[in-house]
Structure 1
Amino acid sequence: MTQPLTAICDQCGKITDVVFKQRHHPNKVQETFFKCEHCHYHYTSFVTDSKVRKMQRNKDKLPVYEVDKRMELQTQINNRMGTLKYNLIQFGRADL
């Protein structure tokens, strides 16, 4: 049996179990998040849109030995997800 994922909450400082949930936003944007079980602080973990999900599928189709192409595509995915997450947290919309 695997150990549950835990984190220390930045808000209240208590240890909380991480239970990922998904929320759908306009324009096919999906947010994966969890909340502290003590203070209910909202932590956004991942934000994806249809373009990111397509890039992830394309990366998964690449052969394992195509390391450079896989790493380049993963960098693009990380950059786009970072922008989406920033926009969602700062402006309430990921698709600016």
Structure 2
Amino acid sequence: MSDTVPESEGLQGAAVEPEYDPAEPAPLNVPRTPTGHAEVDVRLARLADADHLATDGHVEVYEDVHRGLREALTALDARPGPPVPARHPTVAPQ
């Protein structure tokens, strides 16, 4: 006598796994607080585009937002600062 159950008997009562059916993309509803800087706010708003894409489409959106934010920061460094007051030459006593 064997303790093993023949395959045909073991499957009769087993639940059959349904085929994998991923859920549709759904918004994460992550709040995006405006920064007051138009260029940055536009990029942050672009993150909402990922809400309607499958996971494999998120990378493109994230890379685009990252590139835009980096450009905005670089532009801040390139802007001229306030004018420096002119220095008056000092006259050395004679």
Range class of TM-score, shorter chain:
0.3 to 0.5
Instruction: Select the structure that is richer in helix.
Output: 2
TM-score, length-scaled by structure 2: 0.40
